[in-house]
Amino acid sequence: MKNNIPYKTYLTEKEIPESWYNVRADMQNDHRPLLNPATMQPVTVADLSSVFCEELAKQELNTTDRYIPIPEEIRNFYKMFRPSPLIRAYFLEEVLDTPAEIYYKYEGGNTSGSHKLNSAIAQAYYAKKQGLKGVTTETGAGQWGTALAMACGYFDLDCKVYMVRVSAEQKPDRVAIMETYNADVTMSPSDTTEVGRKMLLDPANRNGSLGTAISEAVEYAVLNEGYRYTLGSVLNQVLIHQSIIGLESKLAMEKIDRYPDVVIGCAGGGSNLGGLMSAFMADRLTGKQSPYFIAVEPASCPSMTRGKFAYDYCDTGQVTPLAKMYTLGHGFIPPASHAGGLRFHGMSPILSQLYHDGYLDEARSVTQKEIFEVAGLFAKVEGTLPAPESAHAIKTAIDEALKCKETGEKKVILFGLTGTGYFDMSAYRRYRENDLDDTPPTDESIAKGLANLPAQPDF
Amino acid sequence: MKNNIPYKTYLTEKEIPESWYNVRADMQNDHRPLLNPATMQPVTVADLSSVFCEELAKQELNTTDRYIPIPEEIRNFYKMFRPSPLIRAYFLEEVLDTPAEIYYKYEGGNTSGSHKLNSAIAQAYYAKKQGLKGVTTETGAGQWGTALAMACGYFDLDCKVYMVRVSAEQKPDRVAIMETYNADVTMSPSDTTEVGRKMLLDPANRNGSLGTAISEAVEYAVLNEGYRYTLGSVLNQVLIHQSIIGLESKLAMEKIDRYPDVVIGCAGGGSNLGGLMSAFMADRLTGKQSPYFIAVEPASCPSMTRGKFAYDYCDTGQVTPLAKMYTLGHGFIPPASHAGGLRFHGMSPILSQLYHDGYLDEARSVTQKEIFEVAGLFAKVEGTLPAPESAHAIKTAIDEALKCKETGEKKVILFGLTGTGYFDMSAYRRYRENDLDDTPPTDESIAKGLANLPAQPDF
């Protein structure tokens, strides 16, 4: 090791932050309001409370509290897997022969295998506290569903997961883990909801999509007493809970006397990047020093780099509120060959607004081949087999480190390693067998998706 | 949390032990010598050096050095996933309502998902240092194979894994991970070795067994220049490397001012229990305070509880040295319904001797249903989904904690959580579907296995 910075920097359990950070309190321009799809008026806590439990409805609309205390029960659960380590990528730096320092915050060291557990336990907790019977959700790759199943298992809450059928069929082990935590996993589209039954009329919809699964989960929650809906990304409440990643990262970097020049996160719905950047974005928004922020998305699902900043639904079934965000249209589905995750058609309204206003500095897209190539390298030199999602950030961190090699700059690069790739081995296999098509969506297919946007309301 | 003991206790990286512990230096009675199957005489370093790389052959026969320095390259690699946390099972204690304190050393926080990486990196390092081209090995469940693939990937060594065919077919994701680390995975029995070809003559052998896979891996290593054989358990060298678990455990317990009353480890070949008990067994052998040691094995493969302390081969093909150990006979194969791991017919010669001499206090066997039941409970309350192997130790720790509830004793219980259950979800599924037969081997099948023992040499 080159100097006194350890390979892994841990905070103590007592240093786990006592509050989450709510970036909206510091944003100069708040994101445009979420709209109730029935009235096309800004949603109220009352509107949202039929979908989310009340405390979360309040968090969703909270623009004033910079810090939201983390209940003790949640902090106790966090101790099972937090503080997560901040890792100095010594081995990667060495093979890259870069003067840059590369750090990553590793969120995969829990059974769900990703950062999603940070918000799952919060959403389950508030549901339990409200005396609910259970929660519903959708899951694609299964990371969020597993996290929610764990959280519900812990609080003895009923957990109803709508899983995109093609994912469920490809990942029986993910289903089995959720079931081990007593979750009830339904393949979507299903005949348990009106939205599902409608989709099933056309056999072309059989494989399912995240958008349809969301619609099903929302419908079930709204129509069944004692249930509420939960979501693993996109929403403001999720970014609040995920802020723990960035808060811990900043504290850990202070311990080793560093501040990042660049912060890089993969971005699907925005939960990881929004979380990782939190404490540093607070610095930016309050006029202190700030890193350069980069969002990385798949070339197959390029909401920020090729989408439009517009009001759109968050789901195919149009049952969710409309959000102003970077979107490819709520009907957009990445090409079937896409195996790299991050398949949501839109982007967190907060991140969208920050990007629109220039606080989130840059969005990039990378191809599948690029991510699986660096994933293999990373696994070999740093030991951890990354989730394809995380590999988007690895790819960009490597690119930035190689730029430093050219310029001689000793930049401090921080990226989010959101999870492990254990359940993505079929995607890894397809990469090895040269079976991943990397043709990006055509301009026509992007235009077709955007043609689906609703009439733009004046908010 | 009840008191000031944190949920997770970490050592600093600087506190990672600088030497492994070699228990043989302290044993009153050394285990009976390994015998060369060709000469039936004690093996020499020269004998072993055609199978193992030289440094490891020396470690295998080392009876004098209490401590063996860990090379810096290995300590650097260790930093990727060590020190591993010592976890206070607060949540488990609470549901059990026990006055006991339960701790576990968690070794699953790395991509191989188990403690096997501790020895894999050492074996790969010495092979690399000797200038070898590659190493061979066998794997059953895939934990050891994955660990070795990671280690070889790191050192750019060729890694040839013979994987029990039925496991490889059931666990394509395990195969894909090994291949991602560039290992070459061959299903055993295979036509790449004489032993394999012989086995394939009888279609009943098609599924393979650990014993056959060992024979194939050894044969390949001996007959191909630049290759040596490696093994993930049973051998003395493995117990030396795994001693890091116990050394770290003892240091971590000192930090929180505790000493275990009971140490519990699952035992297949003995790598985990041998490692976990190391520093505490040193105390016992040198007349200091000592915990009560319990080995836990599956009722389906009960080498210590129903086997015989006798000389036997470590493999079906009888190409490996003979060892005096608790064994069910080298032809013994657990019932097909067995899904809980720990399927080796014998037991580490060191552990066997310690058990025979009363230093390892007790061996117990538990059934599959028992282990999957506690595995589900543990996953829910402690968050981590355990490997079925580890669940053997969990079951026994719970039993001991419940005894304390009856007696009111505040015992300090330490067990080894060797790994995660990610790749055992088909076994979990079978448990949930009530598809695990728990009929133990009949007395006849045990007798049949033991009838296979070679004529006992006089050592």
Mutation test of the interface with chain B: which of A180, A377, A430, choosing the one with the most B Cβ atoms within 10 A?
A: A180
Q: What is the pLDDT of residues A78-102, one digit of tens each?
A: 999 999 999 999 999 999 999 999 9
From chain B, pick out residues whose CB is under 8 angstroms from the CB of A185.
Answer: none
Do the Cβ atoms of A79 and B1 come within 8 Å? yes
Residue for token digits 């666990």? B171
Cis upstream peptide for A83 (omega within 30°)? yes
**Complete DSSP assignment for B339-385:** -SS---SS--HHHHHHHHTTSS-EEEEE-HHHHHHHHHHHHHHHS--
From chain A, pick out residues whose CB is under 8 angstroms from the CB of B182.
Answer: 380
Give the pLDDT confidence score for residue B320 in this predicted structure: 87
User: Residue B1 pLDDT > 50, yes or no?
Assistant: no
Flag whether residue A435 sits within 8 Å of chain B, measured between CB atoms: no
Distance CA B83, CA B244 (A): 9
Higher pLDDT, B325 or A340: B325
From chain A, pick out residues whose CB is under 8 angstroms from the CB of B379.
Answer: 111, 150, 153, 180-181
Write out the E strands in B45-197: 67-69, 86-88, 101-106, 134-139, 158-164, 184-188
Give the pLDDT confidence score for residue B134 in this predicted structure: 98
Flag whether residue A180 sits within 8 Å of chain B, measured between CB atoms: yes
State both tokens at B171. 């666990």
- Collapsing DSSP to helix, strand or coil, B103 comes out as strand
Do the Cβ atoms of B422 and A177 come within 8 Å? yes
Mutation test of the interface with chain A: which of B9, B91, B111, choosing the one with the most A Cβ atoms within 10 A?
A: B111
Flag whether residue A154 sits within 8 Å of chain B, measured between CB atoms: yes
Give the pLDDT confidence score for residue A3 in this predicted structure: 62
To the question of pTM greater than 0.90 for the whole model, the response is: yes
Mutation test of the interface with chain B: which of A111, A179, A431, choosing the one with the most B Cβ atoms within 10 A?
A: A111
Distance CA B86, CA B241 (A): 18
Give the pLDDT confidence score for residue B188 in this predicted structure: 96
Give Rg (Cα) of chain A: 20
What is the arithmetic mean of pLDDT over B175-179? Answer: 96
Give the pLDDT confidence score for residue B437 in this predicted structure: 86
In sequence order, what are the residues at sequence separation of 6 or more whose Cβ sits closer than 8 angstroms to the Cβ of residue A12? A83, B6
Q: Which helix (H) or strand (E) holds B412?
A: strand B412-417
User: Residue A356 pLDDT > 70, yes or no?
Assistant: yes
Do the Cβ atoms of A425 and B379 come within 8 Å? no
What is the arithmetic mean of pLDDT over A212-223? Answer: 94
Q: Which helix (H) or strand (E) holds A187?
A: strand A184-188
Flag whether residue A459 sits within 8 Å of chain B, measured between CB atoms: no
Look up the CATH number of domain B19-68+115-229. 3.40.50.1100
Of A182, A383, A423, which is closest to B111 when you measure between CB atoms?
A383
Flag whether residue A76 sits within 8 Å of chain B, measured between CB atoms: yes
The answer to whether the beta carbons of residues B326 and B304 sit under 8 Å apart is yes
CB pairs under 8 A between A and B: 124
- Quote helix, strand, coil % in chain B, to nearest 5: 45, 15, 40
Min Cα distance B83 → chain A (Å) is 10
Give the pLDDT confidence score for residue A1 in this predicted structure: 44
Distance CA A410, CA B139 (A): 43
Mutation test of the interface with chain A: which of B148, B385, B420, B426, choosing the one with the most A Cβ atoms within 10 A?
A: B385
Min Cα distance A8 → chain B (Å) is 8
Give the pLDDT confidence score for residue B343 in this predicted structure: 86
Q: What is the pLDDT of residues B180-237, one digit of tens each?
A: 999 999 999 999 999 999 999 999 999 998 888 999 999 999 999 999 999 999 999 9
Query: Judging by beta carbons within 10 Å of its beta carbon (0-12, 13-18, 19+), is residue B22 exposed, middle or buried?
Result: buried
Do the Cβ atoms of A425 and B153 come within 8 Å? no
Give the pLDDT confidence score for residue A210 in this predicted structure: 83
Flag whether residue A39 sits within 8 Å of chain B, measured between CB atoms: no
Q: What is the pLDDT of residues B37-54, one digit of tens each?
A: 999 999 999 999 999 999
What is the arithmetic mean of pLDDT over B305-315? Answer: 96
Q: What is the pLDDT of residues A142-194, one digit of tens each?
A: 899 999 999 999 999 999 999 999 889 988 899 999 999 999 999 999 999 99
Q: What is the pLDDT of residues B379-416, one digit of tens each?
A: 999 999 999 999 999 999 999 999 999 999 999 999 99
Min Cα distance B175 → chain A (Å) is 9
The answer to whether the beta carbons of residues A130 and A137 sit under 8 Å apart is no
In sequence order, what are the residues at sequence separation of 6 or more whose Cβ sits closer than 8 angstroms to the Cβ of residue B93? B100, B101, B102, B401
Residue for token digits 């030396």? B240
Flag whether residue B435 sits within 8 Å of chain A, measured between CB atoms: no
Distance CA B304, CA B293 (A): 14
Q: Where along chain B do its domains lie?
A: 2-16+83-113+242-450, 19-68+115-229
User: Residue B2 pLDDT > 80, yes or no?
Assistant: no
Do the Cβ atoms of B376 and A180 come within 8 Å? yes
Question: What band does A394 get if pLDDT is binned at 50, 70 and 90?
Answer: very high
State both tokens at B318. 């009888």
**Smallest CA–CA distance from A113 into chain B, residue:** B422
Q: What percent of chain B has pLDDT over 90?
A: 88
Looking at every residue in chain B, the average pLDDT score rounds to: 95
CATH number of B2-16+83-113+242-450: 3.30.70.260, 3.40.50.1100, 1.10.1060.10, 3.40.605.10? Answer: 3.40.50.1100
Min Cα distance A379 → chain B (Å) is 7
Flag whether residue A8 sits within 8 Å of chain B, measured between CB atoms: yes
Flag whether residue A184 sits within 8 Å of chain B, measured between CB atoms: no
Give the pLDDT confidence score for residue B339 in this predicted structure: 82
Q: What are phi and psi of A296, to 5 degrees?
A: -120, 125
From chain B, pick out residues whose CB is under 8 angstroms from the CB of A111.
Answer: 379, 383-385, 420
Q: What is the pLDDT of residues A55-75, one digit of tens each?
A: 999 999 999 999 999 999 999
**Smallest CA–CA distance from B157 into chain A, residue:** A380
User: Residue A2 pLDDT > 70, yes or no?
Assistant: no
**Smallest CA–CA distance from B15 into chain A, residue:** A6
Min Cα distance A369 → chain B (Å) is 14
The answer to whether the beta carbons of residues A160 and A217 sit under 8 Å apart is yes
From chain B, pick out residues whose CB is under 8 angstroms from the CB of A79.
Answer: 1, 6-8
User: Residue B170 pLDDT > 70, yes or no?
Assistant: yes
The answer to whether the beta carbons of residues A397 and A104 sit under 8 Å apart is yes
